[in-house]
Chains A and B, each alone.
Chain A
């Protein structure tokens, strides 16, 4: 029974989660595109821009605002530090997962380490804990809703399960039971729509931890289109509205 459940999580559920996520992201974007247009302008003017400036920076300024968050830096530097660490680490984490594929060799093919040797996961976990715990303090506590805590907790568990794997491989003598190269084979099979049981390439008692990690990732993908993480797609357009 458990084998079937593990198989479901590791193979069919991954496809379902990815398809679900992509479908609803597209639906969300289409819904917004089909909504009535915004008022003539929602821009605000930086100190050095007058009303005759046709725009206040347009797309480059919106990209700058989105990726450097100058307003957060100005008014809440500590939050800014964690936001930057989190988002940069997230980008590196994405590369690190791509690096698992045998075809991609950012780290050497024989290396047991993920990019960052486990540090990326540590930074992400620390950031997510900061984001979570700051919500327990007033005034943010009064403004937070259950979805905020649950989403952060889900991401925390997702990171932690990934940390156990990468820290095991990078930081312990005996290593995690499964190597980076084993995950590469599993991922390669997924990309190739090879529906064979992943146990064939991930045959170790630590397999349950990998299943947990993939299960949490699936949950995350299922939730993503309905969560505020959709700001990944809308942060730039929203900032563009402010910039005019």
Chain B
């Protein structure tokens, strides 16, 4: 690493020292309360896979470059020089952590490891060391947004091709669009993922509820958040905000994607519309009697995996449980559950990065947890979690069926 690059990285490091990070840097007592919190450590007890272990990788740089004690007696705080070798540690901080923030529920100070992770990711981007697949996906996502007018016709055509599959689940009333687009004054703007699995069940459910809705032209997933680029994150979120404002919708319903929901709901400020998860919308339809479901469709004991970004970091705990209570008489919670639930091991972009061996290793505790429920159906409300849990199901031979809550609800729709 040459001097210029080193200075650039140190500048990025310094730019990330906001009020919270400064407090987190200085005040960790290394009491070890967080050690048992991390699913990676619980699956493979190496201290580098603890919240405090990951934070120390950056705290040692802070000690070296931002504290007098690090300059006078670097051995005291184990201060380190930033070099190529240490950047490997920075990578570890960023990409052995899913940003699930379970450790925050253990720490007596509530230190947020995700803040360290964001700092590490920013340094990796500056060093051109971030996983290229994430940057590429973020760039593609931004480019698609920039050329939306050119792709609208193709998108509409693709939606038309999905209509038959939506109708299989719910026959829309004559004269009404099956997958409406660009509906000014719609009550709900539904923001989906690129795959049809994210559009078909949602369309069937909203049509069954008689909702005045519109499908967003944009994808919900925010690769900017995964890669740790706040500018791209804002850019990707902003175009959905602009679309919602243009259409004048009352609510933006984010598909089953944890990060997309958290970014839109909790990290973009306040808007003229409400941001909800699609799970909350289904719950409301069921409570209001706008849709009806047949319990006989879903067979076998069912459990639910709380996606970290929707539950612990988003506050949505009861909606999926209510939906599942209407879909099955044999529901069992995981233990631990809700805010204490184990992360699936796929968040923070890890599912996309591709190190499957690490993901499977780190998910051992998750596999043990869901196996202990005796469930046959593992439901979840997040794309990342679904992908990871499907891999975990196969790797650990759990013999479960991994399902989206929305798919289960759509399959059970009755008149």
Contacts and interface: CB of A to CB of B under 8 A. Distances in A.
A75 B108 contact: no
24 contacts: A31-B22, A35-B17, A36-B18, A44-B312, A45-B314, A45-B315, A47-B317, A50-B318, A51-B315, A76-B33, A139-B47, A142-B47, A143-B32, A143-B47, A143-B50, A146-B76, A147-B69, A147-B76, A150-B76, A228-B29, A235-B27, A235-B109, A237-B23, A241-B112
Contacts of A39: 18, 20, 115, 267
Interface in A170-210: none
B67 interface: yes
A51 B110 contact: no
Nearest to A76: B33
A210 B27 CA distance: 31
A139 B53 CA distance: 10
A108 interface: no
Given A32-B19, A40-B269, A139-B50, A53 B110 contact: no
Given A36-B19, A226-B67, A65 B108 contact: yes
A140 B27 contact: no
B121 interface: no
A174 B296 CA distance: 85
Nearest to A39: B267
Contacts of A144: 30
A71 B339 CA distance: 12
Interface string B27-52: 11111110111000000010100101
Given A145-B77, A241-B20, 19 more contacts: A35-B19, A35-B21, A37-B18, A39-B18, A44-B101, A45-B311, A45-B317, A69-B108, A71-B106, A72-B31, A75-B33, A79-B31, A143-B47, A143-B50, A147-B77, A150-B76, A234-B26, A237-B23, A238-B27
B17 A50 contact: no
Contacts of B266: 40-41, 43, 51
Interface string A9-36: 0000000000000000000100111011
A161 B47 CA distance: 36
Contact of A50 (B23, B267, B316): B316
B265 interface: yes
A23 to B, nearest CB: 13
Nearest to B111: A238
A235 B112 contact: no
Contact of B109 (A38, A50, A75, A238): A238
Contacts of B265: 51
Given A40-B267, A44-B104, A47-B317, A234 B68 contact: no
B23 A71 contact: no
A239 interface: yes
Interface in A95-118: none
B385 interface: no
A71 B108 contact: yes
A81 interface: no
A35 B18 contact: yes
Nearest to A24: B68
Nearest to B112: A42
Does more than half of chain B's interface fall in helix, strand or loop, or is it mixed? loop
A45 B23 contact: no
B50 to A, nearest CB: 7
Contacts of B235: none
B313 A45 contact: yes
Given A71-B106, A241-B110, A145 B315 contact: no
Interface string A133-169: 0100011101111111010000000000000000000
Given A35-B19, A150-B76, A44 B27 contact: no
B56 interface: yes
Contacts of A75: 33, 36-37, 106
Contact of A35 (B22, B267, B315): B22
A71 to B, nearest CB: 5
When A and B form their complex, which 8 residue pairs have the shortest distance between CB atoms, in order from nearest? A242-B110, A45-B315, A51-B315, A38-B20, A142-B47, A231-B27, A238-B109, A36-B18
A218 B382 CA distance: 55
A19 B249 CA distance: 59
B338 interface: yes
Contacts of B105: 44, 71
B155 interface: no
Nearest to A238: B109
A134 B30 CA distance: 12
A46 B340 CA distance: 9
B34 to A, nearest CB: 9
B342 interface: no
A42 B314 CA distance: 11
A88 interface: no
Contacts of A139: 32, 35, 45, 47, 50
Contacts of A239: 109-110
A72 B103 CA distance: 12
Contact of A41 (B28, B50, B267): B267
Contacts of A230: 26-27
Contacts of A45: 311-315, 317, 339
B106 A231 contact: no
A138 B45 CA distance: 11
Interface in A42-89: 42-47, 49-53, 65-66, 69, 71-72, 75-76, 79, 83
B107 interface: yes
Interface string B262-278: 00011111000000000
